[in-house]
Amino acid sequence: MDVKPGYKQTEVGVIPEEWEVLTVGNLATANVIEKPLDGNHGNIHPKSSDYVGFGIPFVMANNVCDGQVDLESCKFITKARADKLQKGFAISGDVLLTHKGTVGNTAIVGELSTDYIMLTPQVTYYRVRDSYRLSNHFLRYYFDGYSFQSLFLSLSGGGTRAYLGIIRQLALPVVLPPIDEQRAIASALGDVDALLGALTQLIAKKRDLKQTAMQQLLTGQTRLPGFSGEWEVKRLVELAQIISGGTPKTNTPAFWNGPIKWCTPTDITACPGKYLLNTERTISTEGLASCSAQLLPVGALLLCSRATVGELRIAGSQVCTNQGFKSLVCKDGVSGEFLYYKLLTMKPQMIERAIGSTFLEISKKNTAALGVYLPEHDEQAAIAAVLSDMDAEIAALEQRLAKSHALKQGMMQELLTGRTRLV
């Protein structure tokens, strides 16, 4: 393969000529970094009886996620117990890399309220000693890059038993641009991370506002302008036709892969948002005729009644369901979208009415008897419109967040390989 002028072919691919490729071991020998270390193994590893309510954070692989160290959900040990350990003392500025079970997650340890945090044998720290040759922020982004992640996952074996110990980590290659370029790359990617963080916080805030609005509007505690009058309680069977799902008695090939969407609870849990538009399987006209399931219209409420009791979506197209549903077709004078939002708040009542040892299921009788507190149709529709607008705003922000994540991935691929230069 031809390499364009100013670039060279290396074991990690084509990079600019002035960039170096060193192993982790080379970096440690040259005192650019300390020798990477993980937590204590064997008998010295803290036991569950050592955990306390507050103390030195004891960080496992699942506490390193989305570039952050989650110090709130981790375990804690006393400082006296931690001081007796031999290694795995991570401090502010260290780059963390998970290498066992959950592999390849990274983060930089931020400001700490304790002298250090303790690592388990699932997490390695990389501590930069010579910041004139290596930026810790660049190193973390390099670890996040596609080439490094692919190599790391391949060498670790993948799966639930994935593991790449310290000795093998010493042989990992690290690409080293000049320090000014490292800092420029880290700064550019840091700006994108700041945008991602701000969007994530804004989405969380909007979701909280929506939850508050649901609590106020769906109970009548807050009334929209122009509405008055009493709300009343009606049984669900008074508001909608309740339709149970079904399943063909045989797995006859001719019954499947037809033109009709076939919905299971898995389709519901895999579907973000309010509307169900696609299903994993489809059924034929013959298959539908062979069972008790019915073709449901657009706008039907697909209510899970088995196992994942109370999960709910609105049918975005015609669909039929398996026996894990009690679907609802609203009667005249009932807003389907209002009822959708209302039922989302009633999941605890549904679970309370469900029975079963292997898995919970709410019967058609108990579903029909659910009491729903609601106003007249016009107020239902107005409330649903407010909540739908909030959903649309959240969905737009989530789409922007997804595009920003994709932008960051593209930038990393360009910047970490030197295809795009900032210096």
Q: Residue-wise pLDDT tens for the chain (423 aa)? A: 688 999 999 999 999 999 999 999 999 999 999 999 999 988 888 888 999 999 999 999 999 998 899 999 999 999 999 999 999 999 999 999 999 998 999 999 999 999 999 999 999 999 999 999 999 999 999 999 999 999 999 999 877 789 999 999 999 999 999 999 999 999 999 999 999 999 999 999 999 999 999 999 999 999 999 999 999 999 999 999 999 999 988 888 999 999 999 999 999 999 888 999 999 999 999 999 999 999 999 999 999 999 899 999 999 999 999 999 999 999 999 999 999 999 999 999 999 999 998 889 999 999 999 999 999 999 999 999 999 999 999 999 999 999 999 999 999 999 999 999 998
Nearest partner of 117 among 65, 161, 154, 79, judged by Cα: 79
DSSP labels, 229-294: S--EEEEHHHHEEEEE----SS--GGGEEEEEEEE-HHHHHT--SSEE---SEEE-HHHHHTSS--
Residue 11 · residue 422 · CB < 8 Å: no
Cα(131)–Cα(182) distance, integer angstroms:
11
CATH number of the structural domain 7-176? 3.90.220.20
Backbone angles phi, psi at 86, to 5 degrees: -100, -25
CATH number of the structural domain 232-374? 3.90.220.20
Cα(302)–Cα(267) distance, integer angstroms:
11
At which residue do the structure tokens 């390499």 appear? 3
pLDDT of residue 272: 87
CB atoms within 10 A of CB 238: 12
Nearest partner of 360 among 323, 302, 308, judged by Cα: 308
The segment(s) of the chain belonging to CATH 3.90.220.20 are 7-176, 232-374
Nearest partner of 340 among 350, 332, 330, judged by Cα: 330
The segment(s) of the chain belonging to CATH 1.10.287.1120 are 179-227+376-423
Sign of the dihedral through C-alpha 374, 375, 379, 381 = positive
> What's the residue count for the chain?
423
Cα(423)–Cα(416) distance, integer angstroms:
13
According to CATH, the topology of domain 179-227+376-423 is: Helix Hairpins (1.10.287)
pLDDT of residue 1: 62
